[in-house]
Structure 1
């Protein structure tokens, strides 16, 4: 008499078991970084009672058939890095005085990767998984271990591309990550804590996340599927077994003892694939830019510009021969939207530009004198680096680059001294590789174009304010 009701109850409970209730696993505090290598001995997994294959003649839902196709494309990534350590730390004087006290130390870490092109042996992972590695090996799902070759990486989106040479590889098909909706079921596959290939499931909690602290250009998929140390670079797939994202980080402000709190982040497959294509075709990623300087809109600026709401990026300078100039942007304009995406401040606009390719078409929602205006722009390539000699003779021998976006999100502003030639004028003036130029007597700046505009007029006196490590100081350029 109660059979139909009982069957419905059992099926409801089964579905809940299939997609709910994740085991609480301790994760590291804050954003996930590459896990330290663990001993390679296989982990012992406790036995779990098996569910029946059917209830009242109805088969139970299972992810197993889909995962049988997906898991061969997810690999374990092991990196090795030889570093020299000294009891005197990084002090160059004492390291030279007592070289016999400097010892080599082997650092190892574990992560995950995804085969996305079986013919070419291309494997996607996170930049932070392979950063600084001297040697990278990949262990396939069938147990084979092969050496991986570095193709290229993009720190600002945390995407890296490797290549392996092996037979019978399985690639995972790509989904359109733009079609993801909040509430869609997703499955994370990776190698957490080095215990071996592991699967967790959950739903899409949010899309388009761009407010994760300490990370570069962002357009994350947020999920409550467990993403733990070692999962970095692994696959986030939909129920059709298609790649929707590359797992990159978990966030836990309460620390590692709090366990999984359902804040995992993945790079959308559309973005990862775009970066991959550029890395495969040259090893570097090119980005588009409008060519403007902006200021965040506060209550005072909003009132002076006739705005109802204090939000947006107020244009303070338009560079000559830039995409912004050609589109008709003017100082005093306030950008409040781009391609339908809300722009709340200068950081949001910078993040939007950082995810665009050169020549990308952009529709800008602007407020001019308080009135709405829509402008169309075609982005131009963002300069990657500038030679000091092209800016000012006193900087000859130095090469300047944009700061990593993660550094900007930590509140650092300026340009990076990427390289200083030995014996050059820049070296004699005291510049060192790794310095950050945060200010100059010639004027303020926040990036390469504004740095070029600041020092490009050959000022009579040029003094740079430098951040070196945790210390700041000034260097007069002679």
Structure 2
């Protein structure tokens, strides 16, 4: 079987087994419920025996401040595509961002001719100021021509977009009601613990304001959607249409904004995600003041430092952000950052993982000059960088997922390498400027396979030294195995992405 056929089969399996993580649009699904129980701290048995409590007082206080948001926008589907999507129950007014996908969400059927002109999206929001200031998700109103807000008493009011930010998926609206409106206050999301009870309020599927109860399932979830990924995971049932609605604690204060669900079928399976209130509150304040937010960026791709990578790099501990790519002309390139550097400190903050750096950079205004410490060739180097902005023609700060387990320590790597001839370049769509060696064979019982090397990968450097051919790569790997390090560091190009992979070998 050729390299190309093997790769195609591998990709097909990945696509077929994907599970949807999606923002909460609107749809039609059966009702669901969740029994409310108060969990005690003594034992599971005592928790089960605890009598159910009522959240009616909290709901009565908060529900009047929760609104339904209807956005009207133009569709961009071709007529044939519209008919196909309408027949399958899928419509463009799901408006799911690329990083969440656009699959598996049941929608009301829309006539093809109507879908070519306008479509509607449904979401939720909550009033934070009696003058009509409303918070919701950016994906609920992004690209909307008109926005209509329906208050809890049924009053419909046109809304103006005060500001929005795609990176944090937050937006602020304003309505004029001619009278003070009921509000809900911010709570402290940092005080939440796994197991704490919460309530989710919103308008799932457009059936009307609905309250569901559950607990905080986990904190700090990263969905790889942007630099602010630090979601609360909850098990309170939330569905499409809940987007932008408040997540409240037992004091009735907003501790999160319901944003996404994890689902194999488009419906709630009890795994939801909310933006923590402490993060949202800061961004909302900036949106109210300025209407938009400028995020800093370095123009790099980075990955986590595993133990094998730390061994290959000579790092004492597996911490920091390993630079896998530096954009041409980017702020990082101007500062002297190189592929293979590990950023260990930025602006006085210790960087233990890529997410920490991503958030620290995104919080800065473009043009801000900061210092950083990097690990390079076995020693710490100090650099300064002028943070860039989103208008720079370089790659956004991104985190490369690279969690390749390594459980073997064999004296050989188990690789078969070949040159990047014209036939291989065409088969794998490798640009002419890329140099290195193509992986033509992987022994599944050897360290290369268990470390994550795959057929069709292009090895472009060995221990941070660029390689041009298969022979040069083999020689570099052979020399590396004679060093005192426990692993060889390979920079691998796979599709459009570059990733460092540390492959261990048996040096004792």
Q: TM-score, normalised by structure 2?
A: 0.55
Listed one character per residue, the Cα deviations across residues 406-441 of structure 1 (whole Å, up to 9, x for unaligned) are xx8799xxxxxxxxxxxxxxxxxxxxxxxxxx9996
The structural deviation recorded for 1:367 is 5.5
Q: 1:148 to 1:342 in 2, by over 3 A?
A: same
The more displaced of 329-338 and 282-291 is 329-338
Q: Is residue 158–residue 216 contact of structure 1 (8 Å, CA) maintained in 2?
A: no
Show the 5 A alignment for 1:61-460: 61-83=53-75, 85-87=77-79, 104-119=116-131, 121-166=132-177, 167-210=179-222, 212-214=223-225, 217-252=228-263, 254-256=264-266, 260-289=268-297, 297=305, 301-314=309-322, 334-336=342-344, 343-345=352-354, 349-355=357-363, 381-386=387-392, 400=393
> Which residue of structure 2 lines up, in the alignment, with residue 15 of structure 1?
none
Q: Is residue 298–residue 397 contact of structure 2 (8 Å, CA) maintained in 1?
A: no
SS in 2 for 1:71: helix
SS in 1 for 2:21: coil
Alpha-carbon distance in structure 2 between the residues aligned to 1:229 and 1:63? 23
Alpha-carbon distance in structure 2 between the residues aligned to 1:385 and 1:324? 16
Q: Is residue 299–residue 396 contact of structure 2 (8 Å, CA) maintained in 1?
A: no
Alpha-carbon distance in structure 2 between the residues aligned to 1:311 and 1:283? 36
Listed one character per residue, the Cα deviations across residues 318-362 of structure 1 (whole Å, up to 9, x for unaligned) are 999979999x999876335778786344x6632553356679999
Q: 1:325 to 1:205 in 2, by over 3 A?
A: farther
> Which residue of structure 1 lines up, in the alignment, with residue 23 of structure 2?
33
SS in 2 for 1:270: helix
The structural deviation recorded for 1:299 is 6.4
Alpha-carbon distance in structure 2 between the residues aligned to 1:222 and 1:36? 20
Show the 5 A alignment for 1:9-20: none
Listed one character per residue, the Cα deviations across residues 152-204 of structure 1 (whole Å, up to 9, x for unaligned) are 21111111111111123112111122222222221111111111111111121
The structural deviation recorded for 1:382 is 3.4
> Which residue of structure 1 lines up, in the alignment, with residue 440 of structure 2?
none
The structural deviation recorded for 1:126 is 0.8
SS in 1 for 2:269: coil
Q: 1:181 to 1:45 in 2, by over 3 A?
A: closer
Q: Kindly tell me the number of residue pairs found equivalent between the two proteins.
A: 344
SS in 2 for 1:157: coil
Q: Is residue 319–residue 351 contact of structure 2 (8 Å, CA) maintained in 1?
A: no
Q: Is residue 110–residue 230 contact of structure 1 (8 Å, CA) maintained in 2?
A: yes
Q: 1:251 to 1:337 in 2, by over 3 A?
A: farther
Q: TM-score, normalised by structure 1?
A: 0.58
Alpha-carbon distance in structure 1 between the residues aligned to 2:271 and 2:391? 35
Q: Is residue 136–residue 149 contact of structure 1 (8 Å, CA) maintained in 2?
A: yes
RMSD after superposition: 4.7
The structural deviation recorded for 1:141 is 0.7
Note the residue ranges of structure 2 that are not aligned, 5 or more in a row: 1-17, 36-50, 83-112, 403-429, 436-494, 497-508
Q: Is residue 216–residue 409 contact of structure 1 (8 Å, CA) maintained in 2?
A: no
